[in-house]
Amino acid sequence: MQNKLKFIAMTMLILNTSFILTGCWDSVEINERNVVMEVAIDKNQDADLSQPINKRDSYQITYTIPDRAKLSGKDSLAKDVKSSIVTTTPTIETSVDEVESKSQNTITFSHTQAIVLGEELMKDSDLFRGAIDGLIRNMEISRTTNLLATRGKAGNLTQEDNEQNPILGLYVMKYFNNTERPVSYAKEQLVGNMIRELEDTNISTIPVINTDEKGAVEISGAAVIRNYELVDFIGKDVVRGQLFVEGKINQVPIVVEYKGSSLTYIIDTEHSKITFNSDGNVADANIEILTEGNITEYVSTDTKNIFSIEDINQITILLQDEIRHQVMVAVNKSKEINVDFLNIGLQMYRKHPKQWQSYSQNWEDEGYKSFPIKIQVTSTIKNTGMLE
Amino acid sequence: MFTHNGRVSVRQVEIFLILQMLNTTILFLPKIAGDYVERNGYILPLLASILGVIYVFCIEGITKRFPKDTLVEFLPKIVPDFVAYIIIILFAVKILIITSLEARMLGEMISQVLLPKTPIQVIILVMLLSVAYLVKSGVEAIGRMGEVLIYFIAVSLVLVFLLVVPHGEYMQLMPFFQTNLRGIGVGTFVVSLIFMPLEIMLMLAGLMKETDKVRRAMLVPVIIVGIASAIIVLLTYVGVGFNETQRQVWPVLTLMQSMSLSGTMVENQEILMMTGWTFSIFIYLSSGVYFTSLIGSRSFKYKRENIFVLPLIPIAYFIAMIPENLVMAYDYYNKFQYYFGIWFILPVPLILAIIARGRRNSHAK
C-alpha cells in the first residue's frame, strides 16, 4: 500500500514537473501570434528636429503581417493577404512597443525573412547603426535574416503589390534559397554577415531591391556601405565583377563575338584567389580567376562549327578577355568611389600582416586608389553541347 | 533500485567530468581566448590541456595515497584538524558559490534566449529543485544521469559542428601566429581554468569503484574537452567572425544563430547548442549541490549523504540572486573563477601531497 502511494505521489510529481518546465509565462498560442515577415526601416523625414534625440521620432518602420488563414497553401490565390502597420518612433524597440499596441495579437519576429533599408536611413550612419543594434541586441530578429537596400523609401516598396508573391519576405526567402538560380547580379547579404564585414573592414555591400516601371520586383546591384553609411549604389555589372573576385559566380552566361556570331558560355564553377607580389614589400595584387563551363549557344554555317582544338583555344582567349573586362568594371568602380569593397586590403592584412602595416594608415585615403591590381583569368571549356 | 549505491565507475566519472567542464565558460571561451592571442585563440585550449594534465597529476598525487577516502577523511590525516576543517569549509563554500553563480548564468541565458517573460527566479528555482531531486538519490544516480545525457549533448555538438563546418569563413583565422609569448602564457593559464571541475575529484576519487584508475578517469576528460574546446573556439571565429566574437556576450550562441537554415524545417537552430549546454549545466549543478552536501554529512559523520541537499537549495538560490543584473553576474562569475579557480586543482593538492610524502618519510625513519 505504501509503495502504491509512493508511486502515485511520484507520478503526480513528475507530471507536475513537466507542466512547470513548459515555461508557461512565455507560452503564446500560434493563432494569437502575428508573424512579421518583413520589416522596412526608413528615416522619418518629418521628424521634429527640435525634440531631444530620445523623444525624436527618427525612424519610420513598416511591418508587414500576413493573414495566415488566407495564405494557406504555397500558391494561394487569395487577395489582401497582408496588412501593414507603420510606426514612427525614436528607436527600434519603441517601434516594437508601438506596433504591439496597434495589433490584437502578439508580434513575433522569429520567422522574419527580410529587412529592407530605405535610402535616407542608410545615409544617416547613427540611425543605420542604431537600427542594426536594435535588431540584433535582444535576439528578436535572427542574424540570418536577409538584408536588402532600396532606392527611395523601403516602406513604399513593402506595401506595393507583388504579383509573384504578395509577401515580399517570402519572395526574398525563395529567391535566395533557390540554388538553381544563376548568381550573377546580386550578392546575398545576411544581417550577421554584414555586421561581420563591417567589423572586419568597415565596408559592406547590401543587395538592392526595387520595382521596375511595370511593377515587377528585381533584386540586382548593391548599396556600398562604409562605416554604417551609404557611399553609393553600384550597378549589376559592378556586382558581377565583385562576385567574380569573391569566387561566387554560378551558372552565369558570358557572351563573346566569335567569327561574326554571338557565342554563349555558361560558367559552371568559378574559383578566385587574391595573391600579392612580395619581395619584402607588397608591390601589387593579383586576382586569379579560374572558370569552368560549357558552350551552350553558337550559330555558324561552317560544317565543323567550333568542334576543333584551334577554335576552342581561340574562344578560350576571347572568354578570358571578356571575364577580365567584367572584373575590371568592379575594380575601376571601387577605385572611383575609393571604397575597397573587393577586400584587397583585408586579404593583404591576412596574408602579409607586416607589410600591411605600411599601407593601413592611408589605405582609405589614397592607398587603395593608387594600389596596382592585376587580373589573371584561366577559363576551361568542358564541352560544346550536343552540336559540333 | 540504483540509489544510494555510493560508488561510481570510471566511465561514469569520465562522463561526469566532461559534462562539468562544458559549463558556462564554454559559451564565452572564444572571447576569452581571443583577448589573449587574437585569431589564434583555438591553440589555447590545446596548450591548456598540458596544464590540465599537470592538474591531474597534482590531484592524483594526493588521492592515490588515500584510496576510498574523500577529502573530508584524508585531510585530517595530513594536517592538524583545525587546518583541515578550514580547508574543507573553504572548499565547500567555493563549490557552493560557483554552483550558485552557474545557476544564475543559466537563468540569465534562458531568460535571454528562450523564456524572456518567465521570471529568472522561477527558472533558477525550478532548475535547483530538479537538481535536488536527482542529487537526493546519490552519486551513482548522477553518474547514470550523465551517461544518459552525454548522448544528447554529443549529438547537439556534432550537429553544431556539421552545420558550421561547410559555411565557415576560414580566412578569419589569418594572419596566423601574430601574437606574443606573454599572451600565450597568460591565456593558457586562464583557459586552463575550464578544467577546474577536476577539483571535485578530491571528493569523487574516494567514491570510485576502481580507485587505481583515477588518473585515467581525469586524463580522458581533459583531452576530450581540450580538443572540443579548441574546435568550438575555431568554429566560432570562422562562423561569427573574430571581431564580432569579441563584441558578443555569448559568442558560441551567436555562432548557432549565424548559420542560415532559412526556409528549412529548423529555423531557430541555436536551440541545439542550448539543449546540450543546459544538460551540461544540470549535471554541473547536481555535482555542486551533491558534493557540498556530502562534505557536510561526512564532516558531521551522518549516515545519510543527502541530508544537507534541501537546506542547500535556498542558500544556492539566494547566492545566485545576489548579482543585480547580467553584467554583475558575468563579472562575479569570471572574477571568482580567475581568483579562486586554481586553488583546489594545483596549490592545495600539491602542498598536501608534499606534506603527506614528508610525513610518510618521517614515519619511515
Q: Which of A139, A196, A353 sits opposite B113 (nearest CB)?
A: A139
Average pLDDT score over chain A? 85
Q: Which amino acid is at A90?
A: P
Answer yes or no: do A253 and A375 share one domain.
yes
Answer yes or no: do A249 and A228 share one domain.
no
Is the overall model pTM greater than 0.90, yes or no? Answer: no
Bigger pLDDT: B263 vs B195 = B195
pLDDT for B314-345, tens place per residue? 999 999 999 998 889 889 988 998 899 899 99
Q: Do A26 and B263 touch (CB under 8 A)?
A: no
Distance CA(A117)–CA(A124), nearest Å, equals: 11
Answer yes or no: do A57 and A122 share one domain.
yes
Q: Read off the pLDDT band of B2 (50, 70, 90).
A: very low
Contacts B241 to A, Cβ<8 Å: 195-196, 199-200
Q: Do B174 and A350 touch (CB under 8 A)?
A: yes
Answer yes or no: do A324 and A353 share one domain.
yes
Output the pLDDT for position B1.
42
pLDDT for A257-284, tens place per residue? 988 888 899 999 999 999 988 776 777 8
Residue A248 inside a domain? The answer is yes
Report yes or no: A109 at the B interface, CB cutoff 8 Å. Answer: no
Residue A42 C-beta-side C-alpha neighbours within 13 Å? 22
Number of residue pairs across A and B with CB atoms under 8 Å?
77
pLDDT for A180-213, tens place per residue? 777 778 889 999 889 999 999 999 999 999 988 7
Average pLDDT score over chain B? 88
Answer yes or no: do A66 and A128 share one domain.
yes
Q: Do A190 and B260 touch (CB under 8 A)?
A: yes
Answer yes or no: do A255 and A210 share one domain.
no
pLDDT for A1-59, tens place per residue? 677 888 887 777 666 655 555 556 777 777 778 888 889 999 998 888 888 888 889 99
pLDDT at residue A321 greater than cutoff 90: yes
Count of C-beta atoms within a 10 Å radius of residue B25: 21
Answer yes or no: do A196 and A305 share one domain.
no
Residue A6 inside a domain? The answer is no
Q: Do B243 and A196 touch (CB under 8 A)?
A: yes
Q: Which of A6, A18, A19, A26 to probe by mutation at the B interface, max B CB count within 10 Å?
A: A26
Residue A144 inside a domain? The answer is yes
Tell me the average pLDDT across B224-245: 92
Q: Please report, rounded to a whole number, the percentage of residues in chain B having pLDDT higher than 70.
A: 94
Distance CA(A254)–CA(B96), nearest Å, equals: 68
Contacts B247 to A, Cβ<8 Å: 199
Report yes or no: A142 at the B interface, CB cutoff 8 Å. Answer: yes
Q: Which of B172, B174, B244 to probe by mutation at the A interface, max A CB count within 10 Å?
A: B244
Answer yes or no: do A223 and A261 share one domain.
no
pLDDT at residue B275 greater than cutoff 70: yes
Final residue in a domain of this structure, among A181, A212, A234 = A234
Contacts A176 to B, Cβ<8 Å: 262
Q: Residue B66: helix, strand or coil by DSSP?
A: coil
Answer yes or no: do A362 and A324 share one domain.
yes
CA distance B117 to chain A (A): 5
pLDDT for B122-142, tens place per residue? 899 989 999 999 998 888 888
Residue A101 inside a domain? The answer is yes
Distance CA(B292)–CA(B92), nearest Å, equals: 5
Residue A361 inside a domain? The answer is yes
Q: Which of B118, B169, B259 sits opposite A144 (nearest CB)?
A: B259
A332: containing domain: 241-383
Q: What's the CATH number for B10-354?
A: 1.20.1740.10
CA distance B24 to chain A (A): 19
Final residue in a domain of this structure, among A192, A210, A234 = A234
* Residue A320 belongs to domain with CATH number: 3.30.300.210
pLDDT for B40-60, tens place per residue? 999 999 999 999 999 999 999
Answer yes or no: do A71 and A140 share one domain.
yes
Looking at the structure of chain A, the number of domains it has is: 2
Q: Which of A17, A200, A353 sits opposite B243 (nearest CB)?
A: A200
CA distance A22 to chain B (A): 10
Question: Where does chain A have alpha helices with state H?
Answer: 2-20, 68-71, 92-101, 119-123, 125-136, 154-159, 168-177, 191-201, 236-246, 309-336, 344-351, 353-360
DSSP string, A203-227: EEEEEEEEE-TT--EEEEEEEEEES
Answer yes or no: do A224 and A246 share one domain.
no
Answer yes or no: do A205 and A341 share one domain.
no
Residue A106 inside a domain? The answer is yes
Final residue in a domain of this structure, among A178, A208, A234 = A234
